[in-house]
């Protein structure tokens, strides 16, 4: 009782501060935490008339149904495969770009190249997919026209299941390489110039300087970024995939996010889609927290 | 200063980087060129400039009712949404930056937890529907009003402001709200500008919430209208407006002009605002 009274006194003392904070409390409860309570739907049998809260419980039935569905496992696999490709090919790209850019001494050219490379980051995937579709079109896109002029067959970047994942990775790199390089460029700016000067006196080559000075200095940043990227493997780029894919390539690119959307919003199977969302978010949560802890141990570079 | 010789390595390096820039830009140039091309132009050879220059596509696109309403709705959500979001974000961040906030750890965790775990699509959708936000313009603003990430960035900035500045105001009897708006906010223009730009670009580019909650054409945003025309190929609505043009219209040039109408506002501001974004990324990654 005494503690409560003390707390109330403290809140009264800082009442103006708390009034300022009140809208945030309301916002987070109404728009974040109440929907989280709505995750209980994953263990319920949803009835429209009863709504989320009054629908009857059904144990793990929704999960059983989910785990028996081949389409679910397909989307689970696709999420992991596409994430793995993006990690393998997309992760080194901005590092390479930053290293090349770091060698440019003319600061105006450097600025210009950087600004251009950021452009796709500022546009939505709705716009970017429109642009990609026109550019990669097998009939009128410049890329395939070039192939035709060279006497090659056109590539159906968006329609051929064998190349579609490649298209996803390629457009992902196109969109994110410039923006992703910012962290590395900032780290490269921190490399001690006197080390290069000393290396120059010893007659080190450009390659040796990169191998023995530049890379070791930015290695911690690379490690952290890699760990964080692994932590994000369960989150699929819904925006990119939903706007680029089509029925012809569903089997190689239906990921968890798009499948939840279709099954939940499209087919109104709310409980199963909620169960799937919970499954995905729970794994993602564990991965992110786990990798973040590791990165914090390695160095003071964690997310918080 | 010593005159430096440009080595062959530098020439090769800059060539690679310029080639890379072209690779980034070519898809954009292609769309720009298409959007200015006469619909009857032939598209049998690779070109990045119009064969016959025309503004017809733009005229046709801008005359379309859906695109006009979409444009206005996007401007509405960007202006009103950004103003409200920035206000709500700094009001959440300032108390969290103060050492003496009661139960500070608890409130911080309440905010930060949402960065790592969210309810997911379906519970959020059903709840917003229950709140009566379906087909309501507020759905474009309220559910995404505050982002935990932005709160953390702003909080870190406010923590860097020395307490002594606020102490003197406190002695004069000013309360925390007055102190914030009179003293702290004017000193925090840099972070407020960064947040505003960040949020504004996000609002302009947002499409999923609008696609999910808005059925009524008069509340739809530009990104979704554009999506319908470009990705789902529903050009029909465009042609009704002008039966004369309809017979000659080339869907690709119309699509390109539609893409450009959505993109031009961003193209106009991005070269000037990108440095604020870059600053934000660096601040966020070094210590979130």
Residue position matching structure tokens 């979704």? B224
Q: Band the pLDDT of B235: cuts 50, 70, 90.
A: low
Residues facing A57 on adjacent strands: A44
User: Within A103-214, where are the H helices?
Assistant: 107-118, 125-136, 142-149, 161-189, 193-201, 206-209
B52: in domain = no
Would you state the pLDDT for residue A227?
85
Number of alpha carbons in the 13 Å side-chain half-sphere of residue B237: 18
Q: Do B92 and A21 touch (CB under 8 A)?
A: yes
The pair of structure tokens assigned to B20 is: 């890379």
Output the domain CATH number for residue B257: 1.10.3720.10
Domains detected in chain A: 2-54 (no CATH), 68-298 (1.10.3720.10)
Number of alpha carbons in the 13 Å side-chain half-sphere of residue B99: 4
Which of B178, B257, B231, B113 is closest to A16 using CA atoms? B178
Residues facing A44 on adjacent strands: A57
Reported pTM:
0.89
Domain that holds residue B215: 65-286
Q: Do A130 and B231 touch (CB under 8 A)?
A: yes
Which tens digits make up the pLDDT trace of B69-99?
A: 999 999 999 999 999 999 999 999 999 999 9
B141: in domain = yes
End-to-end CA distance of chain B: 41
The stretch B131-152 carries a mean pLDDT of 95
Query: Which of B122, B208, B277 is best to mutate for the A interface (most A CBs within 10 A)?
Result: B122
Which tens digits make up the pLDDT trace of A248-296?
A: 999 999 999 999 999 999 999 999 999 999 999 999 999 988 888 887 7
Q: Which residues of B touch A289 (CB under 8 A)?
A: 116
Q: Do A41 and B92 touch (CB under 8 A)?
A: no
The answer on pLDDT for B243 being more than 50 is no
CA distance B118 to A287: 14
Is there a contact between A287 and A83 (Cβ–Cβ < 8 Å)?
A: no
The answer on pLDDT for B259 being more than 60 is yes
Q: Which of B116, B224, B263 sits opposite A123 (nearest CB)?
A: B263
The answer on pLDDT for B247 being more than 80 is no
Q: Band the pLDDT of A25: cuts 50, 70, 90.
A: very high
Dihedral sign computed on CA atoms, order B88, B92, B97, B100:
positive
Q: Do B46 and A304 touch (CB under 8 A)?
A: no
Residue position matching structure tokens 């003319």? A106
Percent over 90 (pLDDT), chain A: 65
The answer on pLDDT for A66 being more than 70 is yes
DSSP assignments along A49-115, one per residue: TTHHHHSPB-TTHHHHHHHT-HHHHHHHHHHHHHHHHIIIIITHHHHHHHHHHHT---HHHHHHHHH
CA distance A74 to A67: 11
The SS3 assignment for B204 reads helix
What total of structural domains would you count in chain B?
A: 1
End-to-end CA distance of chain A: 35
Burial of B153 (0-12, 13-18, 19+ CB in 10 A): buried
Which tens digits make up the pLDDT trace of A49-62?
A: 888 889 999 999 99
B54: in domain = no
* Exposure class string for B215-244: b at 16+ Cβ within 10 A, else e: eeeebbbbbbbbbbbbbeeebeebbeeeee
Q: Do A21 and B95 touch (CB under 8 A)?
A: yes
Q: Do B282 and A35 touch (CB under 8 A)?
A: no
Phi/psi of residue B248, each to 5°?
Answer: -100, -10
Would you state the pLDDT for residue B165?
81
Q: Which residues of A touch B131 (CB under 8 A)?
A: 30
B82: in domain = yes
B56: in domain = no
Distance from CA of residue B241 to its chain's centroid? Answer: 30
Which tens digits make up the pLDDT trace of B186-214?
A: 999 888 988 998 899 999 999 999 999 99
The three-point CA angle A256-B259-B280 to 5° equals 65
CA distance A118 to A137: 24
Q: Do A35 and B17 touch (CB under 8 A)?
A: no
B103: in domain = yes
The pair of structure tokens assigned to B200 is: 């504004």
Burial of A262 (0-12, 13-18, 19+ CB in 10 A): middle
Would you state the pLDDT for residue A160?
94
Is there a contact between B102 and A14 (Cβ–Cβ < 8 Å)?
A: yes
* Length, in residues, of chain A: 304
The pair of structure tokens assigned to B14 is: 């800059």
Would you state the pLDDT for residue B269?
85
The SS3 assignment for B216 reads coil
B263: in domain = yes
Q: Which residues of A touch B258 (CB under 8 A)?
A: 130
Q: Which of B95, B124, B201 sits opposite A17 (nearest CB)?
A: B95
User: Within chain B, where are the H helices?
Assistant: 8-35, 56-63, 65-96, 104-116, 121-130, 148-159, 163-171, 176-179, 185-187, 189-205, 208-213, 222-230, 236-240, 243-246, 251-286
B16: in domain = no
CA distance A145 to B10: 33
Please compute Rg for chain B using Cα positions: 24
CA distance A70 to A32: 31
* Length, in residues, of chain B: 288
Q: Which of B48, B142, B201 sits opposite A122 (nearest CB)?
A: B201
């Amino acid at each position: 009782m005494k503690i409560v009274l003390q707390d109330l006194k403290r809140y009264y003392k800082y009442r103006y501060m708390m009034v300022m904070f009140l809208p945030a409390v309301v916002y987070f409860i109404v728009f974040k935490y109440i929907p989280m309570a709505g995750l209980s739907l994953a263990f319920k049998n949803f009835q429209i008339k009863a709504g989320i809260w009054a629908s009857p419980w059904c144990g793990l039935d929704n999960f059983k149904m989910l785990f028996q569905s081949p389409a679910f496992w397909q989307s689970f696999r696709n999420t992991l495969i596409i994430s793995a490709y993006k990690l393998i090919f997309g992760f080194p790209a901005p590092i390479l770009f930053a290293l090349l850019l770091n060698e440019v001494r003319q600061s105006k050219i450097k600025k210009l190249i950087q600004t251009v490379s950021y452009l796709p980051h500022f546009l939505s995937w709705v716009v970017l997919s429109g642009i990609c579709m026109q550019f990669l079109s097998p009939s009128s896109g410049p890329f395939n026209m070039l192939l035709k002029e060279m006497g090659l067959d056109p590539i159906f970047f968006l329609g051929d299941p064998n190349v579609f994942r490649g298209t996803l990775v390629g457009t992902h790199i196109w969109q994110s390489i410039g923006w992703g390089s910012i962290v590395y460029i900032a780290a490269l700016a921190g490399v001690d110039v006197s080390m290069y000067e000393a290396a120059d006196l010893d007659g080190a080559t450009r390659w040796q300087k990169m191998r023995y000075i530049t890379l070791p200095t930015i290695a911690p940043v690379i490690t952290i970024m890699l760990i964080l990227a692994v932590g994000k493997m369960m989150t699929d780029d819904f925006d990119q995939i939903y706007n680029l894919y089509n029925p012809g390539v569903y089997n190689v690119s239906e990921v968890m996010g798009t499948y939840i959307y279709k099954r939940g919003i499209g087919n109104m199977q709310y409980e199963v889609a909620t169960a799937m969302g919970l499954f995905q978010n729970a794994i993602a949560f564990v991965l992110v927290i786990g990798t973040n802890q590791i990165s914090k141990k390695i160095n003071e570079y964690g997310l918080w | 200063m010593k005159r430096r010789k440009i080595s062959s390595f530098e020439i090769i390096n800059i060539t690679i980087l310029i080639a890379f820039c072209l690779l980034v830009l070519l898809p954009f140039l292609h769309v720009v060129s298409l959007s200015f091309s006469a619909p009857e132009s032939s598209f049998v050879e690779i070109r990045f400039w119009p064969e016959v220059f025309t503004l017809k596509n733009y005229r046709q696109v801008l005359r379309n009712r859906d695109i006009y309403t979409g444009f206005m709705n996007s401007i509405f959500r960007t202006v009103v949404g950004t103003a409200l979001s920035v206000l709500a974000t700094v009001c959440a961040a300032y108390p969290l930056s103060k050492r003496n906030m009661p139960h500070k750890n608890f409130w911080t965790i309440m905010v930060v937890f949402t960065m790592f775990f969210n309810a997911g699509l379906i519970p959020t959708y059903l709840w917003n529907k229950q709140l009566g936000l379906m087909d309501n313009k507020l759905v474009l603003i309220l559910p995404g009003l505050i982002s935990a990430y932005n709160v953390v960035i702003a909080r870190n900035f406010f923590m860097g402001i020395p307490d002594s500045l606020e102490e003197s105001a406190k002695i004069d009897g000013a309360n925390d709200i007055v102190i914030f708006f009179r003293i702290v906010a004017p000193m925090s223009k840099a972070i407020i500008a960064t947040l505003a730009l960040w949020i504004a670009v996000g609002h302009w580019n947002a499409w999923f919430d609008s696609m999910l909650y808005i059925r009524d054409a008069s509340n739809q945003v530009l990104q979704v209208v554009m999506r319908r025309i470009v990705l789902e190929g529903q050009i029909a609505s465009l042609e009704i407006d002008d039966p004369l043009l309809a017979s000659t219209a080339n869907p690709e040039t119309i699509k390109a002009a539609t893409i450009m109408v959505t993109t031009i506002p961003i193209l106009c501001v991005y070269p000037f605002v990108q440095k604020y974004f870059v600053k934000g990324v660096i601040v966020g990654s070094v210590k979130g």
